[in-house]
Structure formats: structure tokens, C-alpha cells
Amino acid sequence: MPEEYDSSLPAAQGTLTVPRIVFLVVAAASPLAAVVATLPLALAVGAGPTTPLMYLIAGAILLCFAVGYAAMSRRVVAPGGFYSYVAVGLGRRAAAVAAFVALISYNALAVMLVATFGYFSRLVLADSGIDLPWEAYSAAAVVAVGVLGCRRIDVSARVLGILVAAELAVLVVFNTAVLSEEGVRALPIGAFDVTELTQAGLGLGLMFAFTSFLGFEAAALYSEEAREPRRTVALATYVSVAVVAVFYGLTSWISVGALGIDGVREAAQTQLGDLILHLADERLGSAFSAVMTVLLLTGLFATLLACHNSTNRLTSAIGREGLLPSALGRFHPRLCAPVRASLLQTTVNVLVVGAFAAFGANPYSTLAVSMSALGTLGMVFLQAITAFAIVAYFWRTTDRRGWRPMLASLIGGSGLSIAVVLIIVHYQELTGVDNVVVNRLPLLLVFAGVAAAGYAEWLRRHRPDRFGAIGESAYARSAPAERETTPNDRPAHHLH
């Protein structure tokens, strides 16, 4: 007889501590993969030698955003992340839009990671005489992540903890080696010269910087499984942003110093994905660069696993509140995981990657790049709308301390909005291809948002009970004085 699924809180409630959530979040940002795969692109076609400044700007904007985000996590303990906070800040219809945009963005990033893992695995292992198609490595990753995604979240956290610690250790050794050899030359002041920036360089540089930070917001998605969530989620958010900003900013600065201000762009354009590995080989030898290469693959796997878990928690939260089939919101009683949501995510990976593979698409230059651009745009948009939702939320509260997160969120939201505009204007440069279909993929976000708003309005008029369930976990767990429905957000039968 099949086991019954439970739609209540997961049985793994209270298992995640601050370090485990940080590992889950930092793994989503994949420090080593971002440095090896994304940093060379930023140096080659983005802000060039001023790339460290881009990480500083992006980190400052996201730190402002994190102030409000962390403050919300203390007041609203809900597993929907952006979706839940938009619900209590801007209302149920806006929450429906955020939910569907988030689903597309998270799934796009997951597909990108599946393709990237397959591509780099084939490149690395081909040198060892193992010549398998990239699809085989991608399939193996999908299966492994699917299995771990059906287990207790603390199991994934332990795996990710080991992988992230190894990645950070390698970056520390790399940075230390360059600093010891180059001295102060490894930290050139010219990397922060704003006069060298162009509009295109600023736009592309910020895009790559924000891409490297993706995933830090996932802390709130684990609130139901966190120990003391009102404290844990907030602290994990601050630590995650700080760790990512420091490591990316410092590593990019040191890399620019090692290559030279005048020669960094040309070197990056020539070597691209081999740039950092070549630097590591020069400074620390082939054995160290080989270790870095292996950890690149494990880092990509860790990122995929973290993204899979985040997507599952979001899907589960939305399913429990009526925007998706309720079966997706249920946790397995023995495995303590949203198994059905995990299986859905695995199916999406298989279908999308399989479709691109069937048409002979390049896994990196076409599939990974197009999905990365789509996911980045969607996530930065979500961060912006969430920032303004936090402003609206604290505007309605009577807590005098609310002005701090409100002001910080307003600053962060303004910066993120500028980033959204820059990404849209320079979207084709971000994808790097002339394919019309690829460069029109952002329309999926528009269609999803319009469809979600229309569906929410239909529910409000014809199924007020289901409309009232949207964001209910966030409303139910916020303070009584802050649970009032936002204007024009009541079910239709309340308006007559």
C-alpha cells in the first residue's frame, strides 16, 4: 500500500542550522564555477579590468536588499521566498506573478547547470581518454540530483558543505599564491577607475556580477526546515552575501593584478574558460590546476543540487497554496522531502535538455547561455519587485524600526531596477548569439506574468477560496497588525 503524503509542515522541520543554510546558499552561487566560467566572460566582454568594481557595486546593492530581506524573514516564516514576501507586501495577484516568473527562472537556471555540467565534464574527462557524449554526463547528473532531491534536506546540506568548503579552500590557496608572488601589484587601484567604464561595459559587467550572486536569496526557501528560522534565515542571508562578495571581489581583483590592467581583456578574450586554470597552472603547478578542474565539476554539481532543492521548495510552497496542483505541495512522510516536486523538476530537466540535444544544439554556447540569460533576467526582476514589496510591507506597519529595512530595500530595489533595464538593453550581448529564438526568450517571463495575473483575477472572481489561499502561509505567520489584506486584493465576494 503506498505511503500517504503529508501536506503539513515537513518532518525535517528544525534540522537546518545557519552553517548548513549558508552551504546550501553559497553552493547555489558556486564560487569556483563562477570564478572559472563567469569571471573570464566578464573580463573579456564586460567591464574588463574594472570587473572588481562591478562585484563591489552588485554586492553593495544586494547587501541593501538583504537588510530588508532579512528583516522580512524575522517577521514572516514562509517557504515561498520571493513569492511569500511579495504576497504580504504587494498582494496576492502580484504574488501569483512572482510565483510563475520565479518558477521559469529557477527552472531555466537548473537546465543551464545540467547542460554546463555535461559540457565541462566531457572536456575534462576527454583528456583522460574517456570519450562520452555530453548528454551522458548531463543524464548522470540529473539522476544523482533527482535521488538527493528526494531525501531529507540535511543530507543535501552535508554533501554541499563538503564541496563548498573544498571550493573556498582552493580559491584561498590560489589568491594567497598570487599575492605572495606579486605583492601589492596583485591589487591594482586601476581596477576601481570609473573613468574607464562605458555604458555597455557597465551594463554587461553588472549582468555578469549579478549572475555570480544568484542563489543567495534561497535562504528563505528553507525557513520551514530551519532551526529558529526567525534568527537563522536572517543571519544566513547576511553571511551568504558577505562570503560571495568577498571571494568574488577579491579573486577578480587579484586575477586582474596577475594579468595586468592593460592586458587582462585580451588575455581573457584569448583564453576564456582556460584563463583561471592557466593562471593556477602557472602559479601553483599542474597538480593544483588538476584539482581545481575536478572541483569545478563538483562545484557545478553542488550548484545544480542547490538549485534543484530551491526549485522544489518553491514548487511545493506554491502547490500548497493553490497556484499549482496540491499534490506538488506535499512532503513524503518518511523521506521528509517534496518528492513529487522533485520528480517534476527532474522531468523538466530531461524534456528541455533532451529537446535541445535532439536538435543538435551546442550545450554551452546555445543551451547554457540562453538559459543563463533568461534565468538571470528573471531573478534580478524578482529581487527588484521583492525589494519594493518589502518597502510596501514596512510602510504599513506601526513598528518605528521599520524605516531601516524600508530605506535599505528602496535603495536596493532602485539599483536592481537599473540592472533589469541594463540587462534588457544589452540582452543580446549577454547571450552572445544572434539566434532570434534565444534573444526572444524573455517574452516567456512576460507571458507568464500576464497569465498569472489573469489567472489570479479569475480565481478572485470565481474561486475566492482558492484566491484567498495564495500567499496564505505568509499571511498566517506574520504579526496580526500586518496581516491586513492590501487594497483591491480581497476576494470578489468581499467587494459586494
pLDDT digits (tens, 9 = 90+) for 434-453: 878 888 999 999 999 999 99
Positive or negative, the CA dihedral 301, 162, 376, 47 is negative
What average pLDDT does this structure show over 200-224? 75
pLDDT digits (tens, 9 = 90+) for 90-143: 999 999 999 999 999 999 999 999 998 998 899 888 877 888 999 999 999 999
Q: For residue 259, what is its C-alpha cell?
A: 594579468
Lowest mean pLDDT among 52-56, 185-189, 238-242, 456-460: 238-242
pLDDT digits (tens, 9 = 90+) for 403-426: 889 999 999 999 999 989 988 888
CA 277 to CA 292: how far, in whole Å? 7
Decide if pLDDT at 487 tops 80: no
Q: What is the pLDDT of residue 412?
A: 94
pLDDT digits (tens, 9 = 90+) for 238-254: 888 888 888 888 999 99
pLDDT digits (tens, 9 = 90+) for 3-37: 444 444 444 455 667 777 777 677 666 788 888 88
CA 153 to CA 150: how far, in whole Å? 9
Q: What is the pLDDT of residue 2?
A: 41
Residues 6+ apart with CB under 8 A from 178: 186, 254, 255, 257, 258, 279, 283
143 close to 350: Cβ distance less than 8 angstroms: no
Q: What is the pLDDT of residue 13?
A: 52
Q: What is the pLDDT of residue 385?
A: 96
Q: Between 306 and 441, whose confidence is greater?
A: 441
Q: What is the pLDDT of residue 307?
A: 85
Lowest mean pLDDT among 2-6, 215-219, 288-292, 361-365: 2-6
DSSP 8-state code for residue 3: P
Q: For residue 316, what is its C-alpha cell?
A: 511545493
Q: What is the pLDDT of residue 7?
A: 46
Residues 6+ apart with CB under 8 A from 230: 73, 74, 75, 77
CA 108 to CA 104: how far, in whole Å? 6
What average pLDDT does this structure show over 469-485? 58
Residues 6+ apart with CB under 8 A from 101: 378, 381, 382, 445, 448, 449, 452
pLDDT digits (tens, 9 = 90+) for 256-275: 999 999 889 899 888 877 88
Decide if pLDDT at 302 tops 50: yes
69-78: b or e for each residue (b if 16 or more CB lie within 10 Å)?
A: bbbbbebbbb
User: What percent of the chain shows pLDDT beyond 90?
Assistant: 31
Positive or negative, the CA dihedral 259, 260, 263, 265 is positive
pLDDT digits (tens, 9 = 90+) for 137-166: 999 999 998 888 766 555 556 666 777 788
Q: What is the pLDDT of residue 218?
A: 66
φ/ψ of 226, rounded to 5, equals -90, 150
Q: For residue 20, what is its C-alpha cell?
A: 548548513
CA 230 to CA 220: how far, in whole Å? 10
Q: What is the pLDDT of residue 333?
A: 56
Q: What is the pLDDT of residue 221?
A: 62
| CATH, range 18-494 | 1.20.1740.10
Q: What is the pLDDT of residue 26?
A: 72
pLDDT digits (tens, 9 = 90+) for 215-237: 776 666 666 666 776 677 778 87
Lowest mean pLDDT among 246-250, 319-323, 327-331: 327-331
Q: What is the pLDDT of residue 324?
A: 81
Residue-averaged pLDDT of the chain? 82
CA 219 to CA 237: how far, in whole Å? 6
What average pLDDT does this structure show over 309-326? 81
- Three-state SS across 330-370? CECCCCCCCHHHHHHHHHHHHHHHHHHHHCCCCHHHHHHHH
Q: Hey, which residues does 226 pair with through a beta bridge?
A: 16
Decide if pLDDT at 345 tops 80: yes
Positive or negative, the CA dihedral 422, 423, 429, 433 is negative
Q: For residue 414, what is its C-alpha cell?
A: 532602485
117 close to 138: Cβ distance less than 8 angstroms: yes
Positive or negative, the CA dihedral 461, 464, 469, 475 is positive
